[in-house]
Amino acid sequence: LLAGRMLESRGRRRAAEAAMSLAASVPATARRSTGDRVETVPADQLRPGDLIDVGTGEEVAADGVVVAGSGRVRMAHITGEAEPVEVHSAAEIVAGSVLLDGAMTIRVSAVGGDTVLQQMAERLRMAADRGTRPTSADRIAPWFTAGTLVVATVTFVGWALHDGLATAVPRAVAVLVVACPCALALSRPLAAAAGLGASARRGLLFRSADALLDLADVNIVALDKTGTVTQGALTVLEAEDEALRVAAGLERYSSHPIAAAILDEAGSRGIPLPRGSDITEEPGVGISGVVDGRRWRLRPGGPGQVLLLDDAGRERIIALGDVVRSDSARTIAALHEGGLQVALLTGDHQDIADRIGRETGVRTVVARIDPVGKALWIKARREKGHRVLFAGDGINDGPGLAEADVGVAMGSGAASSVLIADGVISSGSLAPIPVALHAAHACRRAIRLNQARSIGYNILAVGAAAAGYVNPLVAAVLMPLSSAMVIWGASRVEANVRELSS
């Protein structure tokens, strides 16, 4: 019990460390613009309404609105999307975002604890403050001990008055010996260990038995999109070979994530890359150059699209997006068959989220939702009496993982999400989740049966000893047999998981 409490305390400390690392990702200083002067000031001296200048490679020190300039911004810590976001005047931007290229002036709207990033960190701290819950064995133990002592005392007094001390002493000793708190105490740990082992062997490792048992009550499974339901890497979904060839010629020297996706797809199709000339890349606008003696331009299109335009203005569409994991649809179907509601929560565009929902069979799709919004969505369901599992992989998923009844992180995800989660999926697949649900149900059933066996044994054995049918020697033999029953019950967990999974 003490070891379990120590592990739980260690997990809470790690959650607090994750919160501190998240809060520390905001820069300590900012360049504040006042009239024709620019001064470097500590970030905690910024106030709403201040203007701050941000250049290429710098992090944004506060939440705000762009009032001048533009550029590509990486906001993976908020949206979970690896692809940089094109930001222009009047766009909102959050603290901790990195300006990859361009320059802009931002009017501060929130600082310190009011920023989105600090609210995320605060939710992680709240998770770190969660205490341990008493188990059923913890609640029963005082009553069991008191009951055993009362029965032993009554047995001693009754037999002393009826047949003298020579009979009373062995009868009372038999009651104390045959009573087996060990079986009751072992009911939960042994079954939980078997359940944790069964889940771990199938790819989902839980930090505690409480997390596994809570899984048995879950009726809503909320999933992050990027890196959880999908592979988390930008990929070309649709493009003509010729359009891809020309685009690859323009992008072959670019470090943009879209360039990497186009070049990877061209390579996988075996398309020879032309060498472009007079290449010009404009941050936030696109790239242009000459390929095969003609001038081409690559420009942003609709969500998940880039447009390739020739010198006559004719356009070809290259569709890009994230690829759904091969077993996501099958896993989500299994969750639906188990009677669970499945929801997709993402910061991505609605049409992209809807497409992923259609491909995987998710019926509830919530798009354009920030990390705090995910946590509030989960909290609202919990307040209605639902039990929620949330699975995510990014630093932006921390608040959701902390708020959920059971938080599960992808092992390949951000370190902060792994630290805050109740469980970690060791493989790049969601398949362990429904199997872990089977392990949770099998584990809980084994605990209840073990406790029933233990309580039934103690009632019968203590009653027989008090009545004089069991002497101390026989009591000493019977006592370990009750523990053996509990061990046998726990050993059935693995077989039950295999049966449920089949």
Catalytic residue numbers, as ranges: 224
**Strand 230-238 and strand 51-54: pairing?**
unpaired
Q: Which one-letter amino acid corresponds to residue 94?
A: V
Q: How many Cβ atoms from other residues are within 10 Å of residue 319's Cβ?
A: 14
- Give me 22's structure tokens: 């998240």
The per-residue DSSP string of 305-374 comes to EEEEE-TT--EEEEEEEEEEPTTHHHHHHHHHHTT-EEEEE-SS-HHHHHHHHHHHT-SEEE-S--HHHH
**DSSP 3-state of 461:** helix
Helix (H, G, I), strand (E, B) or coil at 454: helix
Q: How many CA atoms lie within 13 A of 137 on its CB side?
A: 19
Please give the structure tokens belonging to residue 205: 């490792």
C-alpha pair distances (Å), 296 with each of 72, 96, 268, 313:
22, 35, 23, 9
* Helical axes 328-337 vs 432-467, angle rounded to 10°: 40
**Cα angle at 210 between 204 and 213, to 5 degrees?**
70
**3-state secondary structure string across 59-126:** ECCCEEEEEEEEEEEECHHHHCCCCCEEECCCCEECCCCEEEEEEEEEEEEECHHHCHHHHHHHHHHH
**Scanning the structure block, which residue is given the tokens 């044994």?**
457
How many whole angstroms separate alpha carbon 170 and alpha carbon 472?
6
User: Cα–Cα distance between 299 and 296 in angstroms, integer?
Assistant: 10
Q: Which residues pair with 308 in a beta bridge?
A: 298, 316
> Tokens 């792994």 appear where?
418
> Helices 181-201 and 472-501 meet at what angle, rounded to 10?
20
Contact indicator for 453, 432 with CB cutoff of 8 Å: no
What's the rounded Cα separation, in Å, for the pair 174 and 351?
73
User: How many angstroms separate the CA atoms of 271 and 196, rounded?
Assistant: 49
390: helix, strand or coil: strand
Looking from the CA of 419 toward its CB, the CA atoms found within 13 Å total: 21
